[in-house]
């Protein structure tokens, strides 16, 4: 009886403590709404027309073996000079590897802060011939429809961003603004092919010249609405790093024979077993400091039961880890993922195969490495009959700081431009040019001042890529605000 009483008291005390902690995470008074910054209608038209023109240059990245379209890239470069005369007078421009563009907006010398960089890319992915008919408008015509939507390849990825940056610079110069630190605009021409000839070369040039950036910002993350379960309000996601990737090929050879007299394992089943073993032993899911910062940032927008769980991670961490991992997108942030993607073996139903292979694709979390992935797979398979070969391999980047100048300025500019929406750190699961700048900047962030509706994700690299003209104008205001904050 006494024990029961004691237990009830302990439970009551714990419950009170948990609720009290939850109060620390106050809910938002009402769902936060995105506020669009005000823009002048005539400006809106000019900005839209300029992006529309930019889309007409077919700066397409077809493949690593196809040279860039000289006429298109040259034309685009000349279009930039003609459209942004003030920017091209105030800034120095170098052409790197024939097509990439490195702009430097020199400091007025008032402060001695480290330079910063704005990154974007000029190239776009091709529109496959079989998908052309599904486009509502010609993907390279830059059509602006009656509803105020601008259509075309690159509208979002990434000419819309590049043009917004140039518009912001042009407008700031026209008001007499001069930055008090060097600002670079680094526009790659082969981002869609990995950026080895553009961004990678520009990054090594900065290094050779002894230029070290305080921070850089690129595409790769954005504001999202309706994408985070349980969160109604828009959330600005600033990405701190990129996952790496590698594929492993597990192969086995065997002398073969007739299937009527098998000896147990075949080359096919050995390869399959290797793939199965690594899939059966996934990397542990971790609710790390970054995911914790993420859920804490969005907690005020969630209901009480979720807030009580987030406010009491000391007790709920294992449970919450499991719950979050139910969502494959969130699980991808929590560990190195494994996907068994390919198999090859056998020629006939009654012949023992002489060769078998299985391929597993890994997306590497910043806490893991390519070498570590290979090592772990070899241990898990632990079978001399199975060869493990590495296909490709790209390390994850380091994670940038959430307390550095760049992160704070991005967060402040988001609030200033779009209202007090929650800002949370995230991790990019695909590759961008940004990773090439890891060694030449203290921090590299990925953020586009654009609201992704769940529908938008399939438009990027897909059919009917488009942007609302008012959203485009808001991007310009964002970059203007950010430049003023960072260099004034």
Q: Which stretch binds Zn ion (CB under 5 A): 213-221, 292-300, 380-388, 414-422?
A: 213-221
Query: Residue 126 CB, nearest distance to Zn ion (Å)?
Result: 14
> What is the distance between the alpha carbons of residues 57 and 140, in angstroms, rounded to a whole number?
7
Smaller CB distance to Zn ion: residue 37 or 241? 241
Beta pairing class for 441-452 and 466-468: unpaired
Query: Residue 119 CB, nearest distance to Zn ion (Å)?
Result: 10
Candidates 194, 237, 168; CA nearest to 485 is: 168
* Burial 112-122, CB ≥16 within 10 A → b, else e: eeebbbbbbbb
Six token digits for residue 204: 């090594």
Residue 442, C-beta contacts closer than 8 angstroms, at least 6 positions apart: 114, 212, 213, 214, 215, 400, 401, 404, 406
Residue count (the chain): 488
Query: Residue 238 CB, nearest distance to Zn ion (Å)?
Result: 17
Query: Residue 117 CB, nearest distance to Zn ion (Å)?
Result: 16
Q: Does 480 bind Zn ion (CB under 5 A)?
A: no
Helices (H), 209-312: 267-280, 289-298, 304-311
Site mask for Zn ion (CB under 5 A), range 172-211, x = bound: ----------------------------------------
Query: Residue 140 CB, nearest distance to Zn ion (Å)?
Result: 17
> What is the distance between the alpha carbons of residues 283 and 325, in angstroms, rounded to a whole number?
12
Smaller CB distance to Zn ion: residue 142 or 194? 194
Q: Is 191 a catalytic residue?
A: yes
Query: Residue 459 CB, nearest distance to Zn ion (Å)?
Result: 13
Smaller CB distance to Zn ion: residue 158 or 368? 158
Smaller CB distance to Zn ion: residue 157 or 465? 157
**Residue count at the site for Zn ion (CB under 5 A)?**
3
DSSP, residue by residue, 404-431: SHHHHHHHHHHHHHH-S--EEEEEESS-
CB count in 10 Å sphere of residue 189 = 26
Given the residues 157, 170, 190, 191, the one annotated as active site:
191
> What is the distance between the alpha carbons of residues 81 and 59, in angstroms, rounded to a whole number?
16
CB count in 10 Å sphere of residue 61 = 20
- Indicate the SS3 state at residue 102: strand
> What is the distance between the alpha carbons of residues 24 and 100, in angstroms, rounded to a whole number?
49
Smaller CB distance to Zn ion: residue 123 or 254? 123
> What is the distance between the alpha carbons of residues 95 and 469, in angstroms, rounded to a whole number?
30
> Are the C-beta atoms of 150 and 472 separated by less than 8 Å?
yes
Q: Is 123 a catalytic residue?
A: yes
Q: What are 120's strand-pairing partners?
A: 187
Smaller CB distance to Zn ion: residue 279 or 460? 460
Query: Residue 68 CB, nearest distance to Zn ion (Å)?
Result: 16
Q: Rounded to 5 degrees, what angle do the CA atoms 362, 366, 371 make?
A: 55
* Site for Zn ion, residues 130 to 159, rule: CB under 5 A: 157-158
Smaller CB distance to Zn ion: residue 413 or 428? 428
As annotated, the active-site residues are 123, 191
Contact residues: Zn ion, CB under 5 A = 157-158, 219
């Amino acid at each position: 009886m006494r024990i029961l009483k004691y237990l009830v008291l302990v439970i009551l005390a714990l419950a009170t403590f948990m609720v009290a902690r939850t109060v620390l995470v106050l809910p938002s008074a009402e769902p936060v709404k995105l506020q669009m910054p005000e823009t002048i209608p005539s400006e809106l038209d000019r900005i839209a027309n300029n992006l529309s023109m930019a889309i007409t240059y077919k700066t397409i990245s077809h493949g690593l073996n196809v040279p860039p379209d000289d006429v298109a890239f040259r034309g685009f470069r000349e279009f930039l000079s003609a459209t942004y005369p003030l920017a091209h007078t105030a800034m120095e421009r170098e052409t790197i590897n024939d097509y990439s563009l490195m702009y430097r907006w020199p400091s007025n010398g008032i402060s001695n802060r480290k330079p910063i960089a704005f990154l974007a890319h000029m190239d776009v992915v091709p529109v496959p011939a079989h998908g052309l008919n599904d486009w509502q408008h010609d993907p390279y015509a830059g059509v602006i429809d009656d509803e105020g939507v601008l259509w075309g390849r690159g509208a979002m990825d990434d000419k819309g961003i590049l043009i917004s940056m140039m518009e912001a610079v042009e407008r700031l110069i026209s008001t007499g603004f001069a930055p008090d630190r060097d600002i670079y605009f680094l526009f790659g021409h082969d981002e869609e092919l990995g950026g080895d000839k553009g961004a990678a070369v520009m990054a090594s040039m900065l290094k050779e010249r002894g230029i070290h950036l305080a921070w850089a910002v690129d595409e790769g993350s954005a504001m999202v609405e309706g994408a985070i379960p349980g969160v109604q309000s828009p959330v600005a996601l600033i990405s701190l790093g990129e996952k790496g990737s590698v594929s492993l090929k597990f192969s086995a050879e065997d002398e073969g024979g007739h299937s009527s007299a098998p000896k147990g394992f075949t080359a096919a089943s050995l390869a399959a077993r290797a793939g199965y073993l690594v899939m059966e032993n996934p990397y542990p899911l971790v609710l790390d400091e970054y995911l914790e910062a993420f859920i804490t940032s969005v907690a005020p927008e969630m209901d009480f039961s979720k807030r009580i769980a987030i406010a009491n991670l000391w007790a709920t961490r294992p449970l919450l880890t499991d719950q979050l991992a139910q969502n494959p997108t969130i699980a991808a942030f929590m560990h190195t993922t494994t996907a068994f993607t390919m198999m090859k073996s056998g020629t006939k139903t009654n012949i023992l195969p002489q060769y078998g292979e299985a391929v597993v694709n890994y997306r590497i979390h910043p806490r893991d490495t390519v070498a570590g992935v290979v090592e772990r797979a070899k241990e898990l398979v632990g079978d001399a009959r199975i060869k493990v070969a590495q296909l490709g391999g790209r390390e994850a980047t380091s994670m940038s700081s959430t307390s550095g100048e760049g992160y704070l300025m991005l967060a402040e500019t988001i609030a200033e431009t779009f209202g007090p929406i929650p800002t949370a750190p995230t991790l990019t699961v695909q590759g961008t040019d940004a990773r090439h700048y890891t060694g030449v900047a203290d921090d590299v962030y990925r953020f586009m001042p654009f609201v992704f509706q769940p529908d938008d994700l399939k438009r990027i690299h897909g059919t009917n890529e488009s942007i609302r003209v008012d959203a485009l104008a808001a991007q310009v205001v964002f970059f203007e605000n950010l430049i003023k904050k960072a260099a004034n």
